[in-house]
Every structure is written in structure tokens, then in C-alpha cells.
A and B are shown apart, each in its own frame.
Chain A
């Protein structure tokens, strides 16, 4: 029983890594419904290399590199697409990758790649999660890059107004996102010992979107919590696959209707604000998405007192 829950925790952790990476893409206005395909590609890479006797760390690096390279290619090809059409294109891309992989007999065809040694443990997954969380809080959230992500989501032209290229910002964020999801894919193959074409499918990508959207993409912890909860709760209730589809779909619809920004609100780092004091708070606030001039506001924010001053800065 304990081993079982340890395994569930590993799956939840892997899903959390993947959901965080997808959240980075969604934050920049690039909803991808093909992230499982990137993860799966990385899984195949890591699995094949490991069977050939390549050191584990190199397997992870190669997996992330392959996934990031595919992400780079897709992102450059899809630069002309915005929002919805981009999402649909990523969906189509993921399906195409899945079909091509399942038609290659040297990759195991529809059965997939089997017999990969199970050589990761829970602490390693948790360590990666901790690194990602710290990176989100300490590096991404406080950076001008994060500001560009939010401007990108709002209107790419606003990035141009900051003197940077929106194309570069978009490609970089998507490549980063697919690189991290590649690490999740490598963890997955080393946890299950198998990677199949169905792991790259639309359903799996959709699950990642659900994790990220339910948790809330505008914080580091949100997508991780979403992934953890939605992986563990169906196990507790011993749901069948069809029940889980209904549960996920219903939650997705509910969250989109009631809390379109997810369960975790946009300012989850109050504890850090208190610990690190005013200087942290000021810098953090400037880059808060709802304070970016012209940023989309929630209805609750509109009802409350406006926090943005005339020059677009924040009240100090």
C-alpha cells in the first residue's frame, strides 16, 4: 500500500512538473494542447539513450534538448498564429507527432518502447519541483521576462513598445516550456519503464491543460497543486477512466466559469512578501499581471478600488 502511494506521489510530481511548464506557455498567451507530444518525444529519447547505456544525467539533458528543439521549430512555424488558432495548431502538431511515432517499427510501433530501467525515485522528482518553484519565485516572477510574458498574452505589440521583439519573447518562452516538459517526459519513462504513442495523445495533453488551468497558471504553485490534487483524488476515489474524464471535464468547465484564473489567486507569495520585506514587495508588485497597464482585469478587480495609477505604476 505504501509503495502504491509512493508511486502515485511520483506520478503526481511528474504531472506537476509538466503542468508548471505548460503554465509558462499559457502565461505568455500560447495555449498548447500538444504538450504531451513534446513530453513523449523526450520520453522516447531518454528511454532509447538509457537502453544504449548513456549516463542518466545525459539522458535527461538530451531529452530536454530534443523536446526544446521541437518546441523551437513548432513555435517558429506557428509565429503567425495567435491564441485560438495557435492552440488548434499545437493540437494538430501533437497528433501528427503521435501518428508518425506509432508508425515507426524501430520505436516499437503502437506498443511503444518497453523495458526501460526504473531508475528515478521520488526525492529526485521533488528536487526538480523545488528548483522549478524557486526559479518561478526568485527568477521568473521578478524578471522583465515575466513582464514581457504578460504583455505577450495581452497584445504582442505591447512587447514591441518595450523595445524588445515579441517574436523572440514568444519563441523563448515556448522553448523554455517544452524544454521543461521534456524533463517531465524523461521522468515519466524512467518511472513507468515504458512510453507508448498513446502517451503523446490529445487526451494526455488535455489533462495537462486541466491541471494548469484548474490550479491557476499565474503562479508557480498553482499548476503544481492542480496536478497533485487531480492526480491523487481520482486514486482515492478509485475512479474508472470514463469517470475521471467526466470529473476533469466538469472541473475544467466549472473553473472556467467561476474562477477563470484558476484556484490559486494571482498573488500567492504573501509569505515571501512578509519575510523579504518592502523591497521585494515593490519589485514584485510592479510585475504583477493585474498592474500591468492595459492588463485584463477580473470582474472582482474592476469592482474594487483601482490599483493602477495614471502613469501605469503601482501605488507605493
Chain B
């Protein structure tokens, strides 16, 4: 029983880290522009499908291709659907990004079809058995990459001029602009980074599940959005914390009440958090 519980906790932490990458993207865009980019779940599929297709050329090439292409599609989504609608209602932006995401998904379906494609794990095959707890090398690699990416995000946000510009823009865009920060550039870079992280999360999901499809972004995207809301819209530590919480909770619900209900837990948790703390766990607006 003890070993089983540890196993569930481990699985929860792994999926929590992947959700964190997606939630980080949503939180960054909320902080930068006060928008939710609903094209982001499609970036997950873009990253995963590109990586799956280029995996034969080596893991590093696949990663680079998947991340770069999702960032590129993200920048296109910024110029086509976000920038022209930003001055209007936020709902206009939401619907426009939804439209863009739908186009990306439709194009992906045209290219690869609707069926699941098999994807081989990115890490070495094999596992450790530590007292009944099975740790695959693949999962370890996924966690290591997620930790590395989170560390990079923290380092850039706290230690560079670009991070300072991003935080200033999140705090008060007008004042940031008045102080000579190129808000437009910050927004483009934030979109590119957010979509790169989402694409990377897509590669991780594909590697863990062993299959990829154009529709794979929806579940992880929704989880990321929910984690962003639970953590406090725009708060990056909040998003990571909420993602881990969500991952753990889903793993244990899945074990106790069956897989079908595990996705509903996140939404239930969100309702509770919104009732008790409408600003989210760690509020930073």
C-alpha cells in the first residue's frame, strides 16, 4: 500500500510538472496582455506532432524543431489574432484566438489525419524498481527537463533586463511604456516563450503517453488553464504550485475513483478555490 501510494504521488508529480509548463504559458500571457490565448492547446499538438515526425533525426533535433515551430505558430497567432483585437473587448481576442487555434488544428488534421500516431519515448528505455515503486528513465528525463525549463523561466524573469521589462509590463503597461520599455516586443517575446513552453509540454505528453494526435492539446490545455486560474491569474509561482497540486489530486482520484472522474477533479477544485479565494491561491494582479 505504501509503495502504491508513493507510485501515485510520483505519477501525480510528473503530470503536475507537465501541466505546469502549459499553465506557465497561460499565466505569462495573462500577465503580459490580460488575455487568454485559446490557440495555445493547438500549440501542444504542433510541438508533439513535429517532434514525432522529426524524431528519426535525433532527440535534440526533434526537440528544437517542435519548440521552434510552436513558438513560430505562436508568433503568427499573436500578429493575426491577438494584436488586431487587443484594443477591443478581451472577449473579441478570446474568440479570435479560438478561431486561430481551430484553423491550426484543422490544418494538422489535414496533414496527419485524425488517428493517434505512435511516438517512441524520448529517454532511454528501462526503469528502476525502488522498493516496488517503478521509475522509468523516460519519466525521470521528463521531470528533469520540466525542472530545467522552470528554472530557466525563473532565472530569466528575475535575473535579466528582459525579465524586468516583462514584470514591469505585467504590473503596469502604461508606466512600463513611459519608462522606455518596448511593450510590443515584450508581448511578442512572451507569446513566443509561452507557446514554446506549451509545445515542449506537448512533446512530454506524447513521450509519456506513447501517442500523439491533433486533438491531444485539449485535455492538457484545459488542465493548464484551470491550474492558471487556481494559482491566481497571472501569478507564475501560483501557476506552478496549482499545477503540482492538480497533478497529485488527479493521480489520487484516478486511483481511488477511476480514470473517468480524474479530469473532473480539477474543475471541482477550481470551483472551490474560486468560491473561497476568488483571486486564486497566490494572487498577483
Contacts and interface: CB of A to CB of B under 8 A. Distances in A.
A303 interface: no
B258 interface: yes
Q: Which of A85, A213, A254, A296 has the most CB of B within 10 A?
A: A85
Nearest to A102: B260
Interface stretch (B84-92, B157-165, B170-178): B84-92
A201 to B, nearest CB: 9
A96 B267 contact: yes
Nearest to A242: B109
Contacts of A87: 36, 91, 94
A85 B278 CA distance: 11
Contacts of B92: 256, 260
Interface string B97-117: 011111101110110001000
B218 A202 contact: yes
Contacts of B94: 31, 84, 87
Q: Which of B81, B102, B109, B260 has the most CB of A within 10 A?
A: B102
Contacts of A93: 267, 271
Contact of A253 (B90, B96, B226, B233): B96
A78 B233 CA distance: 15
Contacts of B81: 253, 256-257
A294 to B, nearest CB: 14
Interface in A236-281: 242-243, 245-246, 248-254, 256-257, 260
A100 B36 CA distance: 26
Interface residues of B, number: 46
B224 to A, nearest CB: 11
Contacts of A260: 85, 88-89, 92
A103 interface: yes
Given A88-B225, A246-B102, A249-B102, A83 B91 contact: yes
Contact of A250 (B103, B258, B274): B103
Contacts of A92: 222, 225-226, 229, 266-267, 270
Query: Looking at chain A's contact residues, is the secondary structure mostly helix, strand, loop, or mixed?
Result: helix
Interface string B249-285: 0000000001011011011101100110010000000
A81 interface: yes
B85 A85 contact: no
A206 B95 CA distance: 9
Contacts of B148: none
Contacts of B233: 85
Interface size bracket, A side: 35 or more
Query: Looking at chain B's contact residues, is the secondary structure mostly helix, strand, loop, or mixed?
Result: helix
Given A100-B261, A102-B260, A249 B103 contact: yes
B99 A81 contact: no
A242 B109 CA distance: 7
Q: Which of A81, A96, A245 has the most CB of B within 10 A?
A: A96
A96 B270 CA distance: 11
B149 interface: no
A209 interface: yes
A95 interface: yes
Q: Which of B95, B114, B225 has the most CB of A within 10 A?
A: B95
B35 interface: yes
A28 to B, nearest CB: 12
Given A88-B229, A89-B229, A206 B274 contact: no
B80 interface: yes
A89 B36 CA distance: 12
B99 A84 contact: no
Contacts of B107: 246
Given A209-B95, A253-B100, A256-B99, A88 B85 contact: no
A81 B36 contact: no
B102 A252 contact: yes
B131 to A, nearest CB: 33
B278 A83 contact: no
B84 A257 contact: yes
9 closest Cβ pairs, A-B complex: A249-B102, A253-B99, A246-B106, A252-B99, A96-B267, A103-B260, A80-B278, A256-B96, A242-B109
Given A84-B34, A103-B258, A245-B106, 6 more contacts: A80-B274, A89-B229, A209-B98, A253-B100, A256-B92, A257-B81
9 contacts: A31-B91, A77-B275, A81-B274, A84-B34, A92-B225, A100-B261, A245-B105, A260-B85, A296-B88
